[in-house]
Structure 1
Amino acid sequence: MALAFEDEPAAREPSEGMIWIPGGTFVMGSDRHYPEEAPAHPVKVDGFWIDETPVTNRRFMEFVKATGYVTTAEKAPDPQDYPGALPEMLRAGSLLFVQPKTVNGPDISQWWTFKFGANWRRPLGGISDLRGRLDHPVVHVSFRDARAYADWAGLELPTEAQWEFAARGGLDGEYAWGDELMPEGKAMANTWAGTFPTHSNKPRGGERTSIVRSFPANGYGLYDMIGNVWEWTADYWSARHPEPAKHSCCIPQNPRGLGVETSYDPRQPEIRIPRRVLKGGSHLCAPNYCRRYRPAGRHAEPEDTSTSHVGFRCVKRAVTSGEA
């Protein structure tokens, strides 16, 4: 099913650094990859503005300077939220990818570590800082942090449907740029080059985030919708998409995720921390490990979690004639 667009000449209020996305109908999800992406189903979205790039360290710093905001990773966790947690682990920090030399099995603790002192200011922990990274996407931000920034900016986090519609760039292909991962051998996004997680073909120091706009924009003029960093959306996680509408008259318009109850991790019933949908994949996605570097790709992330490969961007709803 091709994407269908609607003309929405009203309500296009210019927003600096944002791109207007026309409303339309598209097939959300995929039946060809991971089970959580299915079933593919048509939905409608109204027009909206979306950030041209993920929020950068430079922009997030402006927010922190203006508000004094303290991120989740900069505060010690509350023991009541984590029953059974070791006391020595209840310290400020964030999850950091550390490339291993060898791996034995699929245990992700071989390449992910909870780094005390890692946060958006110190992305690698220790004495690391933002020198040379001001125009990289901000990372080590939880859902709460992303929403706090959006509130300050007078914006919102995108719904999953808005995000996926924008990522497709007006196309109905496998990727944001068409049906081939690397057309004519050209990398179209910052994803893992090599065999994840042990071998990278990138120059030393280039294995992590990249400056925004380092790769081509999609058909809407949006950068880094695929790769670089995963991006928070406003929707609660669910293990599958809803079934397609049986009649064209009943296609969902501006759909939202299911309720909070569907979002809890059944593998950890004692921890009642909602999960939200991440979209877009990151610089750690690779053909041999995680092929979620597609508009339909999605991943569950607890609201309290921050990592070295998750960021966000914001949207602004069109103001209709009935709204002040």
Structure 2
Amino acid sequence: MSNAMSASHVEAVVAGMCHVPGGVFLMGSDRHYPEEAPAHRVRVGTFWMDATTVTNEQFARFVADTGYVTLAERPLDPAMYPGATPQQLKPGSLVFRKTSEPVPTDDFRRWWAWTTGACWRHPEGRGSGIQSRRTHPVVQIAYEDAEAYATWAGKSLPTEAEWEFAARGGLDGAEFAWGDELTPGGVHMANTWQGAFPWQNSADDGFPGAAPVGSFPPNGYGLYDMAGNVWQWTTDWFAPRHAADPQKSCCMPTDPRGPAMEGSFDYTHSAVPIPRRVVKGGSFLCAPSYCRRYRPAARHAQMIDSGMSHIGFRCIVRGTSGSAGQT
């Protein structure tokens, strides 16, 4: 953001955002999934972050203003998908389908289906819509879609370090964004999956799918849904492990940007050799029996060309001070 930007413009941009003071924190975890390790000290600067993930209503304003067409609404490039049939190259996206009975959880294709016509306007495909979900998080958003919105809004997408620092809400080292218990006093603090994934969801938290933004308590910085509901894009390319702490404390990373380039992790031997960026936060599909990624340290690799029915995003503005727009 330009230093010459007027105070009134700054106030307009950061309206609906929360101030995140920056500081030093322990990023990652040595106690959970291997890609979260090693835990290491990182310093981030001050920034503002959207209090909630971007909603369908907000994204619709962006599209109306710019005429933007999301990746899921564009025909697929045959060169990128050799062997695909013409039907498979029609615009669409991946949609979660609850199974009718227990299935092995070693293959996500049992509950994710490529669905023609699925996009942000029709999250579950043709026949679905967002008319009654204006305050739900926008989903079916690929990385470049999120980046385009952020640019239009005069904002940026967060790095993984910025996102994780914000998610912790000042509770450095805590298991969750609110403390160390998943449901303190029996209270659900996030929209996750309760029951046997992927076929039984008791929806004890009140929501069998995505919830309107802000349906659960905010964290210590006033940020909502930093766990569960929908995954959120960050700018970092995915690598299978974090970098280790430097041997000298004076060399602690400051505002790290993740791997230097997408080639830092070799996807050429993957079944789908498409670069991945880091998404954070987990979603309404995260269950204790299958995916305990509703924690600040958790991370996942997401193909940059793919939206899904549980991936959204939120934006930040770096380096501004004051209290304008703080929620």
Whether contact under 8 Å (1:103, 1:110) holds in the other structure is no
Letter in 2 for 1:260: E
| Distance in 1 (alpha carbons) for counterparts of 2:102 and 2:87 | 26
**1:288-319 C-alpha deviation (Å, 9 max, x unpaired):** 00001000000000100010000000011115
- Taking a change above 3 Å as real, the CA distance of residues 290 and 266 of structure 1, as seen in their structure-2 partners, is farther
* Paired residues for 1:69-80 under 5 Å: 69-80=68-79
Output the amino acid matched with 1:27. L
SS at match of 2:234: strand
Q: Which residue is 1:294 aligned to?
A: 295
What SS does structure 1 have at the residue aligned with 2:18?
strand
SS of equivalent to 1:195: coil
Residues 104/267 of structure 1: CA separation in 2 closer, same or farther (3 Å cut)? farther
Aligned counterparts of 1:235 and 1:157: Cα–Cα separation in 2: 10
How does the TM-score come out when normalised to structure 1? 0.91
After TM superposition, which residue ranges in structure 1, 4 or more long, deviate above 6 angstroms? none
Q: Which residue of 1 aligns with 2:275?
A: 274
Alpha-carbon shift at residue 210 of structure 1 (Å):
0.2
Partners of 1:197 and 1:72 in 2: CA distance:
27
Tell me how far apart the structure 2 counterparts of residues 318 and 65 of structure 1 sit (CA, whole Å).
Answer: 29
> In the superposition, relative to structure 1, how do residues 100 and 70 fare at CA in structure 2: closer, same or farther (>3 Å)?
same
- For residues 238-249 of structure 1, what are the structure 2 equivalents within 5 Å? 238-249=239-250
1:163-182 pair list within 5 angstroms? 163-172=163-172, 173-182=174-183
Counterpart position of 1:304 = 305
CA contact (8 A) 1:29 1:41 kept: yes
Residues 214 and 319 of structure 1: CA distance in aligned 2, closer, same or farther (over 3 Å)? closer
Q: CA separation in 1, counterparts of 2:157 and 2:296? A: 17
Partners in 1 of 2:198 and 2:301 — Cα distance?
A: 20
- The 1-side partners of 2:30 and 2:127 are apart by 45
Shift, 1:169, TM fit: 0.3
Distance change in 2, residues 1:38/1:266 (3 Å) = farther
Q: Distance in 2 between matches of 1:272 and 1:290?
A: 23
- For structure 2, which runs of at least 5 residues remain unmatched after alignment? 1-6, 322-327
Query: For 1:35-46, what aligned pairs fall within 5 Å after superposition?
Result: 35-46=34-45
For structure 1, the 5+ residue unaligned runs are: 1-10
Deviates more, 1:290-299 or 1:84-93: 84-93
Task: Give distance in 1, aligned partners of 2:290 and 2:89.
Answer: 30
The 2-side partners of 1:315 and 1:22 are apart by 13
User: How many Å apart are 1:245 and its aligned residue?
Assistant: 1.6
Please tell me whether the aligned partners of residues 18 and 51 of structure 1 are also in contact (alpha carbons under 8 angstroms): yes
Deviation at 1:247? 1.9
What's the % identity of the aligned pairs?
A: 55
SS in 1 for 2:87: helix
Query: Hey, what's the Cα distance between the residues in 1 that align with 2:22 and 2:307?
Result: 32
- Seen in structure 2, the aligned counterparts of structure 1 residues 239 and 266 have a Cα distance that, compared at 3 Å, is farther
Q: CA contact under 8 A between 2:72 and 2:93: conserved in structure 1?
A: yes
SS at match of 2:236: strand
- Once the 2 structures are TM-superposed, how far is the Cα of residue 32 of structure 1 from its aligned partner? 0.1
Shift of 1:82: 1.7
- The answer to whether the 8 Å contact 2:28/2:38 transfers is yes
Q: 1:302 to 1:25 in 2, by over 3 A?
A: same
- Which residue matches 1:102? 101
CA distance in 2, matches of 1:20, 1:104: 44
Q: Return the offset for 1:88.
A: 2.3
Aligned to 1:24: 23
**Alignment partner of 1:148 is 2:145:** no
Q: Which residue of 1 aligns with 2:267?
A: 265
CA deviation after TM superposition for structure 1 residue 76, in Å: 1.2
Q: Is the 8 A contact 1:264 1:275 kept in 2?
A: no
Q: CA deviation at 1:262?
A: 2.3
Taking structure 1 as reference, are residues 140 and 176 closer, same or farther at Cα in structure 2, changes over 3 Å only?
A: same
1:131-159 Cα distance to aligned partner (Å, 9 max, x none)? 22000000000001000000111111000
Q: Which stretch of structure 1 is more off in the superposition, 74-83 or 174-183? A: 74-83
Amino acid at match of 2:264: T
Matched with 2:83 is 84
Asked if 1 retains the 8 angstrom alpha-carbon contact of 2:47 and 2:320, the reply is: no
RMSD: 1.8
**CA drift at 1:263:** 4.1
Alignment of 1:135 onto 2:135? yes
The normalised TM-score by structure 2 is 0.91
Q: Find the aligned partners of 1:318 and 1:227 in 2 and give their Cα distance.
A: 27
Residues matched between the structures, number: 308
**For 1:267 and 1:228, how far apart are their aligned partners in 2?**
32
